[in-house]
Amino acid sequence: PRLDSSAASDVYKRQASGSAVPSPVLGIAIARFGQRGVQSAVALDWVAARFSDPDPATREAAAYYVSRIPLQSWTRLLPAAQEALVNAAPDDPAAMYLALGIGVGGLTDDEPLLVEVMERSVDWRIRVNAALGLGRPTPTPGTRAALLRALDDPSPRVRVAAATALSVARELPPSDLQALVERMGADPGLTGPEDPDHDPSGAWQVPATLAAAVARAGRMGVVVQWMDRWVGGPPAPRMAGANALGLAPDPLATDQLVELVDDEDPAAAGAAMRALARRWLVLARRGEDPSAALGWFSRGVNSGSFAVVSPAASALASEPFLSLGAADTLLGWLADEHHGS
C-alpha cells in the first residue's frame, strides 16, 4: 500500500468500521507507517489502548510500535507503556518491545523498572533489551551493579548485551573497573583457545565487548594481554581488541596498533589499521604532527593486504596527507596494481 497519510487513514477507517483487519496486522501496519513519518492521533490512541489487550499477539504488535519509533514521536504514550511493562508477565513477548522502546529513551526515571524487568523476566529476549536500555546513553551508578550481575546471566546473549551496555561507560569507579578487568582475565572458558575449558561457541564475545571500556579507562595492558592469548585462534577476538586499543588514552596504544598492522592475520591487521585511522582523527583535532601518521598509512597502502590497504588509502586521500605527498604514494600503488593485474 501507499505509505502516506491517506493510506494510513484508510487503514484506520477499515478497522473502525469493523472490516476484517486483524489487530496484530493493524498494529504492525501502524508501526510501518510510523517508521516512515506517517502518524496520527488515532494511531497513537489505538496503540495505547492495546498495550494491555487480552490477546498476546495484539499486545506484542502494539508494543512493537514503541520499539521502532523515536520516543519524541510517542512521548504521550510513555506512561501507558511504563504501566504495561510494570504489569507484564515475565514471559510476555510484548515486554521485549516495551523494554526496548523505553530503554532507547535513556530516561533516568526508567532505570529501576528496566533493572527489575531484566532480573525477573524468563524470556532472554526481554532481558537483552532491558540490558541494552540500561546502557543508553551511558550506564549510571544506579545501573552498573545490575549490569555487572547480568554478566553471569544463564543466557550468553544477555551476558553480551550487559557487556555492550557497560562498554559505553565513560567513567568507571575503581571497583567496577576492577570487576571488568577480572572478567576479561579470569573467567573459565573466556581466556583463549589454549584453555582446556575454552568454549569455542562465542564466549569470547563478553570480554571482547568489555575491552572497549577497559581500554578507555586506561588499562590498555589488560587488553593487550587478552589479545595475546588469542594469537593463532579465530580473528574476531583480536579484531575487537584492536578496536578497543583505538580508544585507549595511552599514547603507547598507537605503537601497539602500528605493530599489529604487520600481523600475519590479515583480519587483525586490517582492524588495527581501521583503529589507527579513527585514532588519527582524534589526534588531528588535537593538532598533532601528521608525519608519523603519514608513515603508518603509507606502509599500509604498500602492505599488499586489501584489509589493510583499504582503510590506509582512505586516510591518505585526505588532508593533511595529500599536501605531504600522499598522492604520489597512492598513484604508485595504483600503478603497481595495474601492472600486477
Amino acid at 283: L
Concatenating the DSSP letter of every residue in 128-168 gives HHHHHHTTSS---HHHHHHHHHHTT-SSHHHHHHHHHHHHT
pLDDT tens digits in sequence order for the chain, 341 residues long: 333 445 555 655 555 555 555 788 888 888 988 888 888 888 899 999 999 999 999 999 999 999 999 888 899 999 999 999 999 999 999 999 999 999 988 777 899 999 999 999 999 999 999 999 999 888 888 899 999 999 999 999 999 999 999 999 888 999 999 999 999 875 444 444 444 344 444 568 999 999 999 999 999 999 999 999 899 888 999 999 999 999 999 999 999 999 999 999 999 999 999 999 999 999 999 999 999 999 999 999 999 899 999 999 999 999 999 999 999 999 998 887 655 55
What local confidence, expressed as pLDDT, does residue 199 receive?
Answer: 47
Report d(CA 95, CA 75) in Å as an integer. 18
Model's pTM, two decimal places? 0.84
What local confidence, expressed as pLDDT, does residue 8 receive?
Answer: 52
Which residue blocks in the chain are alpha helix, DSSP H?
A: 5-16, 23-35, 41-49, 56-68, 78-87, 93-105, 111-120, 124-133, 141-150, 156-167, 174-186, 205-216, 220-228, 235-245, 252-260, 266-285, 291-301, 306-316, 326-340
What local confidence, expressed as pLDDT, does residue 10 receive?
Answer: 60
What local confidence, expressed as pLDDT, does residue 16 receive?
Answer: 53
Q: What grid cell was written down for 50?
A: 492495546
What local confidence, expressed as pLDDT, does residue 340 receive?
Answer: 58
What local confidence, expressed as pLDDT, does residue 198 receive?
Answer: 46
